Amino acid sequence: MTAVRSTAMEPVMTQTPTVPPFAVISGAQVQRALRGREPQVVDLVEATYRLHAAGESVNPPSYFLRFPDRPSSRIIALPASIGGAAPVDGLKWISSFPDNVQAGIPRASAVLILNDHDTGYPFACLESSIISATRTAASAALAADRLTRDRQRPTRIGFFGTGLIARYIHTFLAAMGWSFDEIGVHDLSEHSAAGFRDHLRQTGTAARITTCDRPEELIRSSDLVVFATVAGEPHVSDPDWFDHDPLVLHVSLRDLAPEIILASANIVDDVDHCLKADTSPHLAEQLTGNRDFLDGTLADVMTGRVTLPTDRPLVFSPFGLGVLDLAVGKFVYDETVRSGQLHVIEDFFHDLRRHG
């Protein structure tokens, strides 16, 4: 440690920056660090939303890499920085290749890079599809809790789309004390729907599980609707299906026609992020020329700045913020360090002398 004398015009330096060791954390390690800690992760996500709302983060627009020869596929870069008591910077690099499902492998794959706040050096690379699914599910569970505090708590849930995200959301809801009398399931793939039903039964749920062949049947029979699809454009267009005023976790963002958005109360995670890239709220903005249909953000609800109506459907559309990935990723890193299982790559950074 090197201390230097400062004048009134000079910054105080308490120590000489050093190059951090670089570690790789596998998906198996990520899963071990997060398993059974759902309430803790939900608290972490809530705290990160509050930091973001207070301006103690940097969360630039996501960058979409698209391919003319593969229009359904994309790779997204989510850079971000978190301030507060434990600052960290980084980047999630996540791909979505829907055709993977036909080949029997998951649609999404991802890595997360964590950068040292003081030097900018990356200090960890983590498998991040699990982190991404975890922060998405934790955000959905937090929203379900916060957005129903002035409503009757739903006892009938419907899953529109039955992949990995649906499974994680159900896991987080159950871990946060939610129980349901009925669980509806709808998916274009009967194989996927059947696999999700089997998963639900293995959790020991006492709910009656029903497969709904028609989207209308699922929505009308659910007080809480979870959209977790890969839809690229709206495919649900009738506002009358929602005339029982359900809570809608619109996780996949592009399922609902603008008319449904305009007939609902709308909460997002971040206004500027959510109203772009042809999300359903973005289409509603294009249709109306304004953002008056938005009631606020989830942070606004948490801090009491927004009071929600109870006489309309309530739609939560989370774009998915990179700061959440950073927060969960740093949590995984710290847990892995504590377990003594951190795998450091020796000499990853080399030739560090400026003049050789």
Instruction: Convert the pLDDT of each residue in 47-57 to its tens digit.
Output: 999 999 999 99
Considering the domain architecture, whether residues 286 and 329 belong to the same structural domain is answered as no
At residue 13, the pLDDT reads 47
Considering the domain architecture, whether residues 277 and 158 belong to the same structural domain is answered as yes
Is there a domain that residue 141 lies in?
A: no
Is there a domain that residue 2 lies in?
A: no
At residue 102, the pLDDT reads 84
Is there a domain that residue 28 lies in?
A: yes
Residues in a beta bridge with 114: 90, 124
Considering the domain architecture, whether residues 271 and 309 belong to the same structural domain is answered as yes
> Distance between CA 157 and CA 89 in Å, rounded?
37
> Distance between CA 105 and CA 97 in Å, rounded?
10
Considering the domain architecture, whether residues 113 and 236 belong to the same structural domain is answered as no
Angle CA 123–124–126, to nearest 5 = 170
Considering the domain architecture, whether residues 159 and 119 belong to the same structural domain is answered as no
Is there a domain that residue 167 lies in?
A: yes
Considering the domain architecture, whether residues 333 and 311 belong to the same structural domain is answered as no
Is there a domain that residue 121 lies in?
A: yes
Considering the domain architecture, whether residues 235 and 301 belong to the same structural domain is answered as yes
Helix H or strand E encompassing 28 = helix 27-34
Considering the domain architecture, whether residues 121 and 236 belong to the same structural domain is answered as no
Is there a domain that residue 8 lies in?
A: no
If DSSP codes are grouped into helix, strand and coil, which group holds residue 215? helix
Angle CA 18–23–24, to nearest 5 = 160
CATH code of 225's domain? 3.40.50.720
What's the whole-number average pLDDT of the chain?
93
Nearest to 270 by CA among 324, 326, 320: 320
Tokens of 116: 């040292």
Helix 322-339 × helix 38-53 angle, to 10° = 130
Helix H or strand E encompassing 267 = strand 265-268
Tokens of 59: 């969360």
At residue 14, the pLDDT reads 57
Considering the domain architecture, whether residues 208 and 228 belong to the same structural domain is answered as yes
Number of structural domains in the chain: 2
Considering the domain architecture, whether residues 124 and 211 belong to the same structural domain is answered as no
Considering the domain architecture, whether residues 168 and 117 belong to the same structural domain is answered as no
* Nearby residues of 133 by Cβ (< 8 Å), 6 or more positions away: 164, 165, 168
Considering the domain architecture, whether residues 303 and 331 belong to the same structural domain is answered as no
Cβ contact 235:208 at 8 Å: no
Is there a domain that residue 51 lies in?
A: yes
In this prediction, the residues of the chain whose per-residue pLDDT falls under 50 are: 1-13
Q: Print the domain residue range for 169.
A: 150-317
The string of pLDDT tens digits covering residues 179-233 is 999 999 999 999 999 999 999 999 999 999 999 999 999 999 999 999 999 898 9
Nearest to 273 by CA among 80, 11, 51, 36: 80
CATH code of 335's domain? 3.30.1780.10
